[in-house]
Structure formats: structure tokens, C-alpha cells
Amino acid sequence: MRDFPSCFGESGVQIADAASSSTSSAGTKGGAAQNLVTCLYRAQLSGRPCAISVTWSRSLMGQGLSVGVDDLSGSGSGQCLCKADIKPWLFSKKKGSRSLDADGGKVDIFWDLSGARFGAGPEPLEGFYVAVVFDLELALLLGDMRKEAYRKTGATRPVSNAAFVARREHIYGKKLYSAKAQFCDNGLFHDLVIECDTLGLKDPCLEIRIDKKPVMQVKRLAWKFRGNQTILVDGLPVEVFWDVHSWLFGSATSNAVFMFQTCQAPEKSMPWSYSQIFRESRAQGLGFSLILYAWKIE
């Protein structure tokens, strides 16, 4: 759970090697591209701060779901408490529950995807729920089937105020790369497009558009393949980091990485692992992070 990009320096961004290697399985080798989306939430387990990651995937095998819980308290900060990999494409796994030991207690995960409706991405749009319960308290509840979730989990306490703090997504394209972007918890959804043509061009250019409006352009990309720039979205400053080195100098199926951070990064180096995001968020008031792995397809 520590494969988010790492950022260093005041004027540029450097993507950790681990990030590229750990996501290589989502590439386009052999045409078997896998669509992955990971959403990260800051929550509480009986007053104990934790990070809950929910990963949705889609491949030739079908849909996938993974739920993990990390400890964010005291000396154990960053420790993985439990993780469950669920295969809801199997008929028997579209609805169910799983109980996991979690350092002195039990975490129960409930899901119902039997009537879920999906769009172009791997995440369900409606007709589902995913719930994480600790000691009969809902730590996280996703989906629109809230009544069914409460009835099935038997939770006696209301869901805590879990905060949506980070999203990591794999996107694919040849020249245009598109995603739906939400830059803060419960914020507006925007159409985000990254355009970059690197084939046969001596001076490739990178352009980012939000709701069809150009918000950023990088020329002389061969010299500026890593960098950062601040844009405004919904009146909020959003720091954009990019690393397109692999597009320019790597293999034909290499991926670039883009990160959108709703609070301007401090001057000193900033870590971007799951656990460090939350420690720094509490200390410095950092905002929402959107990380996009952009893969070229042949």
C-alpha cells in the first residue's frame, strides 16, 4: 500500500521507481490491459485513526475488489491491520461478508454487488454497497444501498465521518487520456483530459484541459519531462505534478504519472506513501490527492 509517487525538490517531481514497477501489471503487454482504481479514506476504528483503501479492478477475468485497513495511530502508524481480496465476478462472491483479525479486534467487510450497475470504469455506479465494520460501528460505507447495508451488518452506531482523501487511477490512450476528476471530498466532478503526442515529434507538447478548458500547457517537453505547476479549479489552488520521462525515453508501453494535489506543496520534500499522506495531512492540512497512471496503447 505504499506505491504512490514520491515528490522531491522545490521545482520538480520525481516518481519513485517502485511506483512504476508495482503498477506494471496494469500495463498493456499482450493487450491485456487492466483498469484499476484505488480510493483512500481516512476513518476511525473505535476512535483509532486508520486508512481504508478500496481497490476496484476490471480485466479479461472480470471485476475485482480489494479492501485494506492501515493503522495510523502511535508507533504502529503505517502498519497493515488487514486486507481482503474479493472476486465478485464469481457468482457466489457478488454478495457476502468476511471477518478479519485486526490487532486486538475484528474487522468485518460486507458487500453486495449482485445488482450493481457499472459504467466505463471498474467502479460500480449504483445498486451496491461496501461496508467496513469494527465493533458494530460502521467505519466506512460506500454505495447507495444504505438501508440494506445497515440491516445486513447489524451496525448499531451511525457511520463515522470517513474522509475521501486520495484516488489513484490507471487510464489509457494514444494521444488523449481522459478521467473524471473530483478534487475534494464531495466536490464537483470534472472532465479531465491530458493530451500529449510524442510520436515522431521533435518538440512534443503537454496540455491539460478541465471541462474542455485548457488550464496548463508545457512546451519543450523533452527538457521539462518532470515538473509542477499550480492551476485553479473551483477557486481552489491545485498543484499539478507530472513525470512523462517514460513516454519520451522509455518503451512503447511505458506509463507517465500525473498527480493533482488540492493544497500547494510545501517547499521541502513531501512523501506520498499512503500512511505519510495522512500524517502530513493532519500536521499541515494537506488536501485531496488524485494520481493518474497514463498508459500508451498501441
- When pLDDT is averaged across residues 206-233 and rounded to a whole number, the result is 93
Q: So what's the pLDDT on residue 295?
A: 92
Q: So what's the pLDDT on residue 56?
A: 93
- Work out the pLDDT band at 275, boundaries 50, 70, 90: very low
Surface-to-core class of residue 80, CB atoms within 10 Å of its CB (0-12 exposed, 13-18 middle, 19+ buried): middle
Phi-psi region for residue 279, left (φ > 0), alpha (ψ -120 to 50) or beta?
A: alpha
- Work out the pLDDT band at 20, boundaries 50, 70, 90: very low
> Is pLDDT of 285 > 50?
no
> Is pLDDT of 23 > 50?
no
Question: Is-above-0.85 flag for pTM?
Answer: no
Number of other CB atoms surrounding residue 235 within 10 Å: 5
Q: So what's the pLDDT on residue 178?
A: 94
Q: Which pLDDT tens digit goes with each residue over 92-116?
A: 578 889 888 877 678 899 999 989 9
Mean pLDDT value across the chain: 77
Task: Tell me which of 207-211, 229-233, 262-266 is least confident.
Answer: 262-266
Task: Tell me which of 3-12, 65-74, 199-208 is least confident.
Answer: 3-12
3-class SS at 154?
Answer: coil
Task: Tell me which of 130-134, 173-177, 266-270 is least confident.
Answer: 266-270
Burial 272-288 (b: 16+ CB within 10 A, else e): bbbbbbbbbbeeeebbb
Number of other CB atoms surrounding residue 213 within 10 Å: 9
Q: Could you tell me what percent of the chain has a pLDDT over 90?
A: 33
> Is pLDDT of 252 > 60?
yes
- Residue 131: partners with Cβ closer than 8 Å, 6 or more residues away: 109, 110, 111, 138, 140, 141, 142, 149, 152, 153, 155
Q: So what's the pLDDT on residue 92?
A: 56
Q: So what's the pLDDT on residue 2?
A: 34
Element (H, E) at 149: helix 146-153
